[in-house]
């Protein structure tokens, strides 16, 4: 914890002495505060003698991606920051014309929904593509069973102010459309739940998250979408890995990566998609199945620690998203508001 505060102070100092407004807005991003419990886990691992990983390429270890390949991906940002790039803090997944799935930890404590917008249909955060849409979030709700300490039930649903398309039939994920939904389907995701299969299923994740896995060297956020491919990991293996830092892997979670190749999602990718190709051979993006939402990790891209994702195959997770989407979010939304107030007082966590 002290190390964490020290690091924060160091960042503040660097920002104070140094540079541009861009840097300030990056360092001030809420992603960092939201990650505190995980940073604590990370610090524990460092204290236990693990060496901090060195900086790697982006998402971590991924490659540039076009929004047409991930048309269900949105960026969550605070419009008060002035632009999507400056206010960016999380990812999300379009599940129908007016609903976006994301992580609960992305919206808890975010205050009034007026301070939240999604950017859809854009590869770039800094120069939103032609045809992209900025849509205010009218209301947000998260699963009432969400536990910040364990990240259990880390799932939330955003209801948008305006539908993302007006046609009766939703646009298709076909490599051409830049805005399209990826439905929540627990049945299809189940084929990839507890992936104890050899050879491992290779999954894909996307986002604008941190490219720099080492906290000591400061964040590095790309402004262009990135994607990464990595194997799904069995629940047993993942549980074993995280037992070392006393983090429980619950049935609401699915894991990916953590191998020698050091690829992973990272800070800022939260709420974004973990995808499996359904067909053999794979035919992305048309055959993508949503299997998870980016949730947490022990730092990023540390060997032996897979990334952890909220599992769409879990019936509770899927039901929360589907019921919320069906019911325009009022009943759960009320609950969420009550909880949010309480959480506000514990912001420092």
Among 297, 321, 324, 340, binds ligand ARG (CB under 6 A): 297
For residue 228, the minimal CB distance to ligand ARG (Å) is: 10
Nearer to ligand ARG, 161 or 245 (CB): 245
Q: Which two tokens stand for residue 151?
A: 């990240």
| Total count of residues recorded for the chain | 349
Among 265, 291, 312, 324, binds ligand ARG (CB under 6 A): 265
Nearer to ligand ARG, 53 or 171 (CB): 53
The single residue of 105, 206, 269, 311 carrying the catalytic annotation is 105
For residue 236, the minimal CB distance to ligand ARG (Å) is: 19
3-state secondary structure of 227: strand
The single residue of 154, 264, 269, 295 carrying the catalytic annotation is 154
154 is catalytic: yes
**Judged by CB under 6 A, does residue 31 bind ligand ARG?**
yes
For residue 210, the minimal CB distance to ligand ARG (Å) is: 8
For residue 272, the minimal CB distance to ligand ARG (Å) is: 8
Which residues, 79 to 98, sit near ligand ARG by CB under 6 A? 90
CA distance 158 to 137: 6
For residue 31, the minimal CB distance to ligand ARG (Å) is: 5
**Judged by CB under 6 A, does residue 184 bind ligand ARG?**
no
Kindly state the helix (H) or strand (E) to which residue 23 belongs, with its residue range. helix 21-27
CB 220 within 8 A of CB 199: no
CB 211 within 8 A of CB 272: no
CA distance 311 to 192: 10
CB 157 within 8 A of CB 324: yes
Of the CA atoms within 13 Å of residue 99, those in its CB half-sphere come to 20
Express the helix, strand and coil content of the chain in percent, nearest 5 each: 30, 25, 45
The single residue of 110, 270, 277, 314 carrying the catalytic annotation is 270
Angle between helices 330-344 and 315-326 (to 10 degrees): 110
**Judged by CB under 6 A, does residue 267 bind ligand ARG?**
yes
Q: Which positions are annotated as active-site residues? A: 105, 154, 270
Positions touching ligand ARG (CB under 6 A) are 31, 34-35, 38, 90, 209, 264-270, 294, 296-297, 300, 307
């Amino acid at each position: 914890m002290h190390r964490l505060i020290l690091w924060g102070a160091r960042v503040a100092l660097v920002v104070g002495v140094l540079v541009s407004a861009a840097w300030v807005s990056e360092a001030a991003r809420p992603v960092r505060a939201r990650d505190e419990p995980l940073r604590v886990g990370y610090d524990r691992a460092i204290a236990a003698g693990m060496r901090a990983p060195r900086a790697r390429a982006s998402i971590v270890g991924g490659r540039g991606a076009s929004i047409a390949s991930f048309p269900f991906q949105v960026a969550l940002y605070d419009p008060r920051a002035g632009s999507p790039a400056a206010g960016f803090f999380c990812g999300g997944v379009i599940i129908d014309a007016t609903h976006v799935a994301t992580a609960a930890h992305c919206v808890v404590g975010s205050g009034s929904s007026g301070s939240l917008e999604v950017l859809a249909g854009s590869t770039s955060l800094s120069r939103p593509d032609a045809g992209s849409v900025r849509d205010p979030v009218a209301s947000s709700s998260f699963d009432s069973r969400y536990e910040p300490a364990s990240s259990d039930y880390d799932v939330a649903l955003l209801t948008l102010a305006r539908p993302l398309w007006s046609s009766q039939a939703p646009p298709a994920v076909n490599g051409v459309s830049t805005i399209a939904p990826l439905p929540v389907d627990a049945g299809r995701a189940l084929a990839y739940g507890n992936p104890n299969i050899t050879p491992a299923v290779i999954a894909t994740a996307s986002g604008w998250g941190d490219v720099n896995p080492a906290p000591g060297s400061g964040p590095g956020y790309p402004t262009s979408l990135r994607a990464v491919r990595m194997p799904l990991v069995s629940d047993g293996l993942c549980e074993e890995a995280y037992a070392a830092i006393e983090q429980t892997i619950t049935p609401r979670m699915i894991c990916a990566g953590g191998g020698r190749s050091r690829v992973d999602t990272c800070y800022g990718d939260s709420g974004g998609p973990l995808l499996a190709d359904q067909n053999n051979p794979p035919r992305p993006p048309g055959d993508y199945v949503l299997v998870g939402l980016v949730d947490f990790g022990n730092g990023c891209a540390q060997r032996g620690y897979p990334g952890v994702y909220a599992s769409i195959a879990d019936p509770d997770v899927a039901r929360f998203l589907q019921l919320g989407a069906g019911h325009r979010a009022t009943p759960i939304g009320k609950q969420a508001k009550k909880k949010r107030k309480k959480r506000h007082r514990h912001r420092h966590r």
